[in-house]
């Protein structure tokens, strides 16, 4: 029976989650399949074109792919997720899904396709280097490695973890300098969004909106005389993920960042998370020093010019 590639609708969400739960070879990814599918497919569709494809033989779903246009750049298309049932690998299913995605993305105006996260809704920055078949498939299908990215892990599994070091002494020192640290509420969202835009550029609106006051997510902020000095958020893409965070350049080095980070990690632990993922990390020494986080997941990012 021939392989057929069909566009999937929201009513097939359950089958997609089920297949990802079986086909994502790393157990931590398989366990997060429902949140990953929700972020990439349901929520991402609010601000960019998103297409989910299924590979069928008869009525059997053998593989799935989610792709999207970049919100800010129509020339770029992203493959956010591709997964093939382990029982049906090396039969051309992944190739067929990727070829269809390239055609669809070209139709949306893309000149280039990235096998890389499409912020703010992404599951991983790129292909985890441990997904060896995916690395092989990317190369076989004409993608070339572009950048490397990494996540850090903060261990929340035991009381004495440096990630759970108390924040009270540092908060008392900050209070002596007029700085208040507190949990952000819905009323803080406009000021937080404005602060993040003005200080760091415009990319974090959706992550802030997905964190502040949301279930299994949250945000803490630091302020002085009503002026925001920094924030840290977690849970917008899934409960185990920390970020984004930012401290105003003038307040850097005052200990605000470490306090905000560990407040979030404490919340995540209280919600049952045993290992927080600090996604697509920038300042390794900051996370290592403030929370004992270690580099753990490493990702290769790939790109391919269409028509090349």
Ligand X SMILES: CC(C)(COP(=O)(O)OP(=O)(O)OC[C@H]1O[C@@H](n2cnc3c(N)ncnc32)[C@H](O)[C@@H]1OP(=O)(O)O)[C@@H](O)C(=O)NCCC(=O)NCCS
Point out which residues bind ligand X (CB under 6 A).
23-25, 81-84, 89-95, 127, 131, 133-134, 136-137, 140
Structure tokens at 142: 């004409």
Structure tokens at 50: 């998103």
CB nearer to ligand X: pick between 88 and 262: 88
- The β-bridge relationship of strands 112-115 and 294-305 is antiparallel
Q: Shortest approach of ligand X to residue 14 CB, angstroms?
A: 19
Reduce the DSSP state of residue 221 to 3 states and report it.
Answer: strand
CB nearer to ligand X: pick between 22 and 197: 22
CB nearer to ligand X: pick between 53 and 81: 81
CB nearer to ligand X: pick between 52 and 212: 52
Distance CA 108, CA 120 (A): 20
Q: Shortest approach of ligand X to residue 277 CB, angstroms?
A: 15
Q: Shortest approach of ligand X to residue 32 CB, angstroms?
A: 12
Q: Shortest approach of ligand X to residue 29 CB, angstroms?
A: 8
Distance CA 12, CA 8 (A): 6
C-alpha distances out from residue 243 to 76, 93, 212, 235, Å: 24, 34, 12, 8
Whose structure tokens read 């415009």? 202
CB nearer to ligand X: pick between 33 and 217: 33
Q: Shortest approach of ligand X to residue 97 CB, angstroms?
A: 7
CB nearer to ligand X: pick between 140 and 186: 140
Tell me the residue nearest to ligand X as measured from the CB.
94
- Read off φ and ψ for residue 263, nearest 5 degrees: -60, -45
Q: Please give the distance of CA 243 from its chain centroid, rounded to a whole number.
A: 9
CB nearer to ligand X: pick between 62 and 248: 62
Q: Shortest approach of ligand X to residue 58 CB, angstroms?
A: 17
Structure tokens at 121: 């809704």
- Read off φ and ψ for residue 106, nearest 5 degrees: -60, -40
E strand intervals along 29-116? 50-57, 60-69, 76-84, 112-115
Q: Shortest approach of ligand X to residue 40 CB, angstroms?
A: 10
Examine residue 290 and say whether the peptide bond preceding it is cis (omega within 30 degrees of 0): no
């Amino acid at each position: 029976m021939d392989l057929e590639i069909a566009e999937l609708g929201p009513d097939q969400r359950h089958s997609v989650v089920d297949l990802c739960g079986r086909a994502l070879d790393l157990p931590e990814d398989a366990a997060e399949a429902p949140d990953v599918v929700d972020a990439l497919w349901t929520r991402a569709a609010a601000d960019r074109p998103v297409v989910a494809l299924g590979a069928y033989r008869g009525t059997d779903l053998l593989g799935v792919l989610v792709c999207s246009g970049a919100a800010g750049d129509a020339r770029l298309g992203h493959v956010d997720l591709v997964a093939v049932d382990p029982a049906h690998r090396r039969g051309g299913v992944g190739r067929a899904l990727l070829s269809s995605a390239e055609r669809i993305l070209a139709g949306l105006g893309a000149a280039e396709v990235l096998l890389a996260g499409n912020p703010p809704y992404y599951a991983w920055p790129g292909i985890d280097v441990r997904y060896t078949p995916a690395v092989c498939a990317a190369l076989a299908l004409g993608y070339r490695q572009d950048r490397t990215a990494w996540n850090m892990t903060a261990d929340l599994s035991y009381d004495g973890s440096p990630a759970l070091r108390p924040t009270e002494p540092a908060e008392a020192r900050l209070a002596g300098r007029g700085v208040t640290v507190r949990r952000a509420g819905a009323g803080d969202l406009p000021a937080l969004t404005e602060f993040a835009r003005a200080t760091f550029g415009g990319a974090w609106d959706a992550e802030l909106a997905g964190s502040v006051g949301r279930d299994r997510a949250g945000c803490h902020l630091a302020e002085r005389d009503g002026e925001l000095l920094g924030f840290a958020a977690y849970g917008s893409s899934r409960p185990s993920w920390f970020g984004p965070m930012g401290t105003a350049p003038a307040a850097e080095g005052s200990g605000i960042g470490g306090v905000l980070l560990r407040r979030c990690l404490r919340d995540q632990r209280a919600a049952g998370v045993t290992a927080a993922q600090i996604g697509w990390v920038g300042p390794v020494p900051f996370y290592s020093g403030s929370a004992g986080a270690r580099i753990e997941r490493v990702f290769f990012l790939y790109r391919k010019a269409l028509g090349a």
